[in-house]
Amino acid sequence: MARHRKGLKRWLDLKPRAHAALSRLTLGRPALARRLDFFPVFTAPPPGALLHDDEITAPMMAPRYAAPLALLCQHSRETPVPRTGIPPFPRIRRVVWQVPDVYIPGRILHPVDLAQGAILAMNLEGPTNWAWTRPRPFRRAPRRIEGRAILIPRMKHYGHLLFDHLVNIAFAVHLGLITREKPVTLVHARRDNPAAERFAKGMLRLGLARDVLRLGHDESALCDAYLHCDALAESGEHNYAFPEATPVLRDILVAGGDPLPALAPSRVYLTRGASKLRRVEGEDRLVALLRDRGFHVFESRWGNLAEQLAVFSRFDMLVGVHGAGLVNAVFGKPSATLVEIMAFDARKTTCLHWASCAGMGYAPVLGGPEGARQSFAIDPQAVAAQIDALAT
């Protein structure tokens, strides 16, 4: 996701150096780590913490996806990272764990084992980095949460929010680990994004959350027990692994706001709007051609989640450029088709994975080579012709 960052900008970044210095100071000193609110390593929950542990095969291994999968494996930009406890592709491990007496710093919003001075995680190991922990030596006393808590970290990326956190909570609901009789306290950030806010309200309205605790940067919490759900895949592109929980996720999001509008376009082109990343030369002409073919042009934004849920639940064909905006395709129906446009030399199986989890059709369309900030060019007439062939 950070291929567009300049080398000089990385070199001038002082955060890695500050993190290294603080890590040397706090490593093996949990009392000091707690005092500074800085936690230098990840630690796995104890073996007895597991409430659920299974594996699935990635749905894109089904025979109907063999051709697009073979195409996407050429010039791939995916970087699998084998780690302890994570099965090799195409297997994906799904775990739910619960740990007593967990600390949640509001500055970083991740679960911490204070006895070890470490952040709890099953999908990460070794040292943390500045994105995961930052010092906060002066802060308020932690707020006490009675019973179980579950957490939505701060997340600016909609795809990671939906598939690394919200659907994971929905999976715990699907398993019966969160119910009206066994609700949780939901912890998330003050002034969080609209999707997290809507999800939290939905949990409350459905009786799945007894309370919502919003933590500021200078606040923290201690909970009697902390519940967490993970998907463990060799590639981060495949972290969505709970297709059976997607209807639950949708129900929670629908319950958290106003009723969905009556939008039901059959053919949709998803535009990236004013995004500076992954600009596509020739897109304006393609949009005009698709409008002539009856396509509805739609832009996903943080503020139009209700419209997104309506549009992506009802489309027959969705066309868009590779990116997090296509994540809502998982709410689509199995009879639908997702058409993904991407650079010739920057292929990923991300959207194929999402489409296959929904059981829908999938077709990649390749443009030119990737340039600065992941931009590339397309031949609008050629792309429109490929879409025409898929629509017949």
Residue 1 confidence (pLDDT) above 70:
no
Cβ count near 25 (within 10 Å): 14
Which string of DSSP letters, residue by residue, matches 225-280? EEEEEEEE-SSGGG----GGGHHHHHHHHHHTSSPPP----SEEEEE-TT-SSS-E
- pLDDT tens string 197-253: 999 999 999 999 999 999 998 899 999 999 999 999 999 899 899 999 999 999 999
- pLDDT tens string 65-115: 999 999 999 999 998 888 888 999 999 999 999 999 999 999 889 999 999
For the chain, give the mean pLDDT.
93
Domains, the chain, ordered by start:
42-56+81-255 (no CATH), 267-391 (3.40.50)
What predicted TM-score, i.e. pTM, was given to this entire model? 0.93
- pLDDT tens string 107-143: 889 999 999 999 999 988 899 998 888 888 877 899 9
User: Which amino acid is located at 219 in the chain?
Assistant: E
Cβ count near 244 (within 10 Å): 12
